[in-house]
Amino acid sequence: MPFQPLNIPITWGRIAIAVAALSHALFATFIVGTSVIGALVATINYRTRKERWGRLAHMIAFTLALTTGTISFMGVVLVFSLNVFWPHFWSTLFRIMFWPFLLEAGFFLGEAVFAYAWYYGWAWTLAPDRRRGFHLSFAWLAAGSSLIAMFMIDITASYMLTPAPPETFWPRIFNPTMIRLDVHRFFGNLVWAGFALAGISAIGALRAKRGEDRAHYLWGGRFFFAIGFGALLVMPFIGFLYLRQIRYTEPQVFFTLMLGSRSWLFDLVALFYGLLVVVGSFYIYKMVKSNPTRPASFDSYMPISLGAVILAAIVFALPYHLQHIPFVHHITHLQVNPFGKMQPNKYLSASVLVFLGLVSWIYYLSAFRGMGVREETAAPLRPDRTAPRLLITLAVLSILIYLVMGYSRETARATNGYLIYDMIRLTDERPTYPGTAQGTALAQKKR
Amino acid sequence: MPDILEKLGPVHLPLIGNSVAVGIFSLLHIAFASLAVGFIFIAPVFELMERENRFNTKAAYALTRFTLITFTASTVLAVIMIELFVGLFPLTNIFVFNRFRYPIYLAVAAFFLLLFSLYPYYHYWEPIRRRSRRLHLVLGFLAAFFVLVWVTILDGIGSYMLTPTVGQGSDRGLFNPTWIPLVIHRFFGNFVFGGFAIAAYAGWMLGRRKGHPDEPYYLYLLKVGFLIGLAALLIQPFTGLLYATQIRSAAPQAFRQVVEGRYDLLVYLQFTIIALLFIGSHLLLIAARTEERGFLPVLREARLGQRGALWGEGALLLSAIFIVVFATHPWVRRFFTLVLVVLSAYYVYQWRHDLSAARSERLNQPTVRRIAVTLGILGLLIYWTMGTIRETARRPDTVRGIISLQEEARTPKFLTGGETPESTGTPPQKGGTLNHPEPRG
């Protein structure tokens, strides 16, 4: 009964795994962020007993129940795909990361159980007794479980980029980039989930037939935006620390991403980040303007801020090594763009984006209560469609930045021929595909 | 890669061992999965028959709700099971996924489409029904079809591990001798467990909500669930016979190992549970005919003074006992099973009007409720026992005659193109393989 090599090019296997992994990660991270935001909203609802917080929490719980079901299917697809397309790599990685993988699945099971108990036991929110408190605990237990599951999978994800010797337990777990990746993902999940929930609310507002529903969804969108935009402003600092650690631990990866053949991916991330801040600033401008009691300084600050943010976003996205951008050689023979230097241009532009974004965010929070008063008191003849569309744009941009970031990290390994850095090569998977087998990078070193 | 794995060595789970760990999660998974499969089939049928009884739509909705609630937990348990499989039995895992990759593509596609039919079926129940009842039913039946494709392929993989074929093609593994018999056996098995579980749930709820406005609904659910479970139970001995016959002809050693080997206690357990299912069903039928409470008064009221009762029901009881006593003697056991099935079918037919006419005063009494709950538990136990028997029949191999537990226990040596574990030079080990079976004791 022979083991049958797959009669397809290895690229197909790579594409299959990339699609399965990215779609899985997109939903998984959404669940982590949403469960944390959901627990927060449920707590506010528990304390205030206001109907609109309850409705918002119910919407999150429903979204969580749907996506949890979807992600369990995606998990099956990913595990099946790894078994079929990367059996050698998968078995080896699984052996190295046996307990983190098992614990991840176990805590995801916990997340599913508690999230479902939270959603399907919604009648308990109306109970006057302790059951209300129990119901709230389901939301926090779901959030806690999903965070621990994320922690477990981050151990594996960071290990693949900056591994430690496999026979050492603690260095394997707390490998050099583990904590930084974890923090990066925590805030990244809040950005993605915040903007995604804002986008869902915006769709709800656009589709709403009653003024009351429209006002509720617009209010929900504003709340989620505040979370997503706030977390977005923290990301450059954590990203900087994460990349710096990669630079010290695996310099080859760092140079591949920042100056080498995959540097265009970092420029793409910068472009999406800049766009998120710009579109977010426009949204803030629109929302704060709708508040008649906004601070007087806002009207003079915001146009200047918008101009500066657009300029900074352009500079931040400028590429340095033009020759690494696909198809650019058809346009220009220039190899380097001096304006795209990290030091000082991009550092400066990133600082402008974060600083002005932070000031705008503070204006937004201070004016939050007075926003959308007209929406709630009277149904407008022509409902505003610009603000919901901006939120949908932010949700789409957050998906794109997430996918590009995920792809950057994975391709930084694959470009240099590794599946686990300095340990397992792509060529180690050759027996699965027609071709010759080669030893591992580690084995080759030994030889 | 072997270098890395040699440093780490194979994983050995402490206390319970590798096989038991995988087994526990498999059993937990199938407890939910078998119910879900059964309910996905039953729900649209209930909905289709909504004009027959006003409770049918409510029952269809409740069953789908249960399926959705347990869906993720069941799926994640399956993922944990596969992950354990990857970590603890890497050779078998690679071999099976490699061999069944094309069926797996199909299974994943079916699962994907299942989600797209099941989720709107439940979450947009009323909006879709308002627009088109037919569309809603189509979604329900599509979900049933896709779940059938999914379980059929998984049964193909499971059956292959016991009775592998020697074909070269990746898809040939499905067409092994026990595939279709296993699919049929499991298909009806889902209804045995599903039906009795519905009855058990109804019995439990009746105990909690006596005099509640929902009482008629749970009474109806108890009757229908019981009838579904019993009807499937009457079919199962025949599908089981087909399956067992195929195992005996394709893997005689595996069959002998099950019936006479070190795990024969499981066979006794299996037939004890089957006998209890038949006896329990009969007791519930009797209890539904009287308003008496307690087992002995029920028996006295229903039985005394009726001509033929002693012979008919005595024979039923004796047959149930004999299928346990002769559990390891297939031909004798089959004879008594046939008697048991015929007598049970006769009594259901005779007392069908009593059951359908039974109201609260007869059905909502502790005796009936306890029997219903017990039948539900027995339905789960029989599912677990049979699943365990099928897995132990492969021992000491993981894929019978191809990969042994002993090979898995060593540091993994991964397969390359055209190799088998045996052809890689693995010497016969203590555990043995199909041709060198593990000695008893």
Q: In this predicted complex, what is the ipTM?
A: 0.79
DSSP state of A433: S
* Neighbouring-strand partners of residue B404: B397
Q: What is the residue whose two structure tokens read 């329900």?
A: B140
Chain B nearest-CA distance from A393, in A, is 26
Q: What are phi and psi of B403, to 5 degrees?
A: -130, 130
Q: What is the reported pLDDT for A194?
A: 96
How far is A167 from chain B, CA to nearest CA, in Å? Answer: 6
Residue B411: pLDDT band (50, 70, 90) is: low
pLDDT of residue A130: 80
Least Cα separation, residue B60 to chain A (angstroms): 17
Q: What are phi and psi of B264, to 5 degrees?
A: -65, -20
End-to-end CA distance of chain B: 37
Q: How far is CA B51 from CA A185, B45, B47, B62, B310, in A?
A: 53, 12, 9, 17, 41
The whole-angstrom separation of Cα A248 and Cα A402 is 24
Pick from B7, B93, B168: CB nearest A167 = B7
Distance in Å, alpha carbon of B393 to nearest chain A alpha carbon: 20
- Please report how many Cα atoms fall inside a 13 Å half-sphere around the Cα of residue B206, on the Cβ side: 30
- Of B396 and B376, the structure prediction assigns the larger pLDDT to B376
CA angle A57/A61/A66 to nearest 5° reads 150
The closest of B281, B293, B304 to B378, measured between CA atoms, is: B281
Q: Which ranges constitute the DSSP H helices of B89-178?
A: 90-99, 101-123, 125-131, 133-162
A374 pLDDT higher than 70 = no
Q: Considering chain A, what is the average pLDDT of its residues?
A: 87
Distance in angstroms (rounded) separating the CA atoms of residues B65 and B71: 10
pLDDT for A227: 96
Chain A: nearest CA to B169, how far in angstroms?
A: 9
> Which residues of chain A does B3 touch, with a Cβ-Cβ cutoff of 8 Å?
439-440, 442-443, 446
Q: Which of A4-13, A230-239, A313-322, B319-328 has the lowest mean pLDDT?
A: A4-13
Inform me whether the C-beta atom of residue B218 falls under 8 Å from chain A C-beta atoms.
no
Which residues does residue A336 pair with via DSSP β-bridges, in sequence order? A321
The b/e string for B321-330 (b: 16+ C-beta within 10 A; e otherwise) is ebbbebbeeb
Residue B292 CB neighbour total at 10 angstroms = 17
pLDDT range class, residue B425, cuts 50, 70, 90: very low
Using DSSP, state whether B292 is helix, strand or coil: coil
Residue A377: the pLDDT is 59
DSSP class per residue in A23-69: HHHHHHHHHHHHHHHHHHHHHHHHHH--HHHHHHHHHHHHHHHHHHH
Question: How sure is the predictor about A136, in pLDDT bands with cuts at 50, 70 and 90?
Answer: very high
In sequence order, what are the residues at sequence separation of 6 or more whose Cβ sits closer than 8 angstroms to the Cβ of residue B87? A94, A95, A98, A101, A102, B11
**Under a CB-based contact definition with an 8 Å cutoff, are residues A207 and A400 in contact?**
no
Structure tokens that stand for A45 in this block: 């609802």
What's the pLDDT at A437? 44
Phi, psi of B207 (to 5 degrees): -65, -35
Instruction: Tell if the CB–CB gap between A102 and B75 is shorter than 8 Å.
Output: no
Give the one of A91, A116, A443 whose C-beta lies nearest to B69's C-beta: A116
> How far apart (Å, rounded) are the C-alpha atoms in residues B221 and B369?
12
Contact B323, B336 (CB under 8 A): yes
DSSP-derived 3-state class of residue B416: coil
Residue A95 is nearest to which of B11, B79, B170, comparing CB atoms?
B11
In this predicted structure, the answer to whether residue A444 has a pLDDT above a threshold of 70 is no
Least Cα distance to B67 among B34, B93, B94 occurs for: B34
Instruction: Check CB contact under 8 Å for A91 and B93.
Output: yes
| Predicted confidence (pLDDT) per residue in B252-269, tens digit | 888 888 888 778 888 999
| Domain boundaries of chain B, sorted by first residue | 2-417
Q: Best mutation site among B4, B70, B108, B123 for testing chain A: the one with the most A CBs within 10 Å?
A: B4
Q: Is there a contact between A109 and B77 if contact means CB atoms under 8 Å apart? A: yes
Beta carbons of A80 and B104 less than 8 Å apart: yes
Which tokens hold the place of B61? 């909705």
Between CA B121 and CA B114 the distance in angstroms is 10
Q: Which of B76, B119, B402 sits opposite A109 (nearest CB)?
A: B76
Q: Would you say residue B438 has pLDDT above 50?
A: no
- Among B76, B95, B111, which would you mutate to test the A interface (most chain A Cβ atoms within 10 Å of its Cβ)? B76
B189 vs B181: CA distance, rounded Å: 12
Query: Which amino acid would we find at residue A58?
Result: H
B1 contacts in chain A (CB < 8 Å): 88-89, 91-92, 424, 428, 440
Q: Is residue A439 over pLDDT 50? A: no
pLDDT at position B41: 95
Highest mean pLDDT among A359-368, A436-445, B84-93: A359-368
How far is residue A159's CA from residue A180's CA, in Å, rounded to a whole number? 12
A437/A123: higher pLDDT:
A123
Phi, psi of B171 (to 5 degrees): -85, -10
Q: Which of B81, B90, B114, B440 is nearest to B253 (CA)?
A: B440
pLDDT at A373: 61
CB atoms within 10 A of CB B438: 19
Cα gap A268→B198, rounded to integer Å: 55
DSSP letter for each residue of A77-116: HHHHHHHHHSHHHHHHHHHHTHHHHHHHHHHHHHHHHHHH
Paired tokens of A5:
């090599």
Over residues A386-437, the pLDDT tens digits come to 899 999 999 999 999 999 998 888 888 888 888 888 888 888 887 787 654 4
Cα A219 to the chain's mean position, in Å?
A: 23
Cβ atoms B333, B322 nearer than 8 A:
yes
What interhelical angle do A98-120 and A87-96 show, nearest 10?
90
Q: From chain A, pick out residues whose CB is under 8 angstroms from the CB of B93.
A: 83, 87, 91
**Contact: B98, A3; criterion CB under 8 Å:** yes
Model confidence pLDDT, tens digit, residues A50-60: 889 999 999 99
Helices B330-350 and B215-250: crossing angle, nearest 10°?
160
Map residue B437 onto helix, strand or coil.
coil
Angle at B386 between CA B441 and CA B282, to 5 degrees: 125
CA pair distance A392, A203, nearest whole angstrom: 7
Q: Report how far residue B38's alpha carbon sits from residue B195's, in angstroms, rounded to the nearest whole number.
A: 8
* Interchain pair A73, B75: CB under 8 A: yes
- Across the interface, of A3, A112, A442, the residue whose CB is closest to B95 is A3
Which residues 69-108 of B have a C-beta within 8 angstroms of A? 69, 71-73, 75-80, 82-84, 86-87, 90, 93-95, 97-99, 101, 104, 108
Instruction: Report the DSSP beta bridge partners of residue B397.
Output: B404
CB within 8 Å: A5 and B115: no
Are A66 and B123 inside 8 Å of each other by CB? Answer: yes
Cα dihedral B220, B222, B224, B228, rounded to 10, equals 170
Whether residue B419 lies within 8 A of chain A, CB to CB, comes out as yes
Residue of A nearest to B82 (CA): A79
Residue found under tokens 């780490």: B8
B308: left (phi over 0), alpha (psi -120 to 50) or beta: left
Residues 6+ apart with CB under 8 A from B434: B253, B397, B400, B401
Handedness of CA A72, A75, A79, A84 (dihedral sign): positive
Q: Which residues of B touch A112 (CB under 8 A)?
A: 72-73, 76
Q: A332 vs A61, A222, B62, CA distance in Å?
A: 51, 43, 65
So what's the pLDDT on residue B171? 56
pLDDT digits (tens, 9 = 90+) for B100-139: 888 999 999 999 999 899 999 998 999 999 999 999 999 9
Three-class SS of residue A258?
helix
Q: How far apart are CA B51 and CA B65, in angstroms?
A: 21
The Cβ of residue B307 has, within 10 Å, a number of other Cβ atoms equal to 7
Strand partners, A424: A420
For B139-165, write each residue's pLDDT tens digit.
999 999 999 999 999 999 989 988 888
User: Minimal Cα–Cα distance from B326 to chain A, Å?
Assistant: 38
Say whether B101 and A6 touch across the interface (CB within 8 A).
yes
List A420's β-bridge partners, or say none.
A424
**Any idea which of A305-309, B172-176, B296-300, B339-343 has the lowest mean pLDDT?**
B296-300
**Chain position carrying tokens 């189509």:** B138
Query: What is the Cα B17 distance to its own chain's centre?
Result: 24
Size of interface A-B (CB pairs under 8 A): 156
Phi and psi angles of residue A419, each rounded to the nearest 5 degrees, phi first: -100, -45
Quote the DSSP letter at residue B412: P
Write out the two tokens for B272: 């004890």
Asked if the C-beta of B14 comes within 8 angstroms of chain A's C-beta atoms, the answer is: no
Tell me the C-alpha to C-alpha distance, in Å, between residue B257 and each of B161, B328, B389, B404, B438.
Answer: 15, 11, 10, 16, 11
Report the alpha-carbon distance of residue B71 to residue B80 in Å, rounded: 14
**Closest chain B residue to the Cα of A427, Cα to Cα:** B1
What CA–CA distance (Å, rounded) separates A96 from B8?
8
B415 CB neighbours in chain A (<8 A) are 3, 431
Which of A83, A103, A145, A169 is the best substitution to test chain B (most B C-beta atoms within 10 A)? Answer: A83
Closest residue by Cα to residue B393 from B231, B279, B267: B267
**Mutation site, B6, B8, B18, B79, interface A, largest A CB count within 10 A:** B79
Joined tokens for residue B320: 């149930």
> Which residues of chain B have a CB within 8 Å of the CB of A88?
1, 94, 414
Quick check: B402 contacting A, CB < 8 Å?
A: yes
Q: Which residue of B has its CA nearest to A4?
A: B417
Q: Is the pLDDT of residue A442 over 50?
A: no
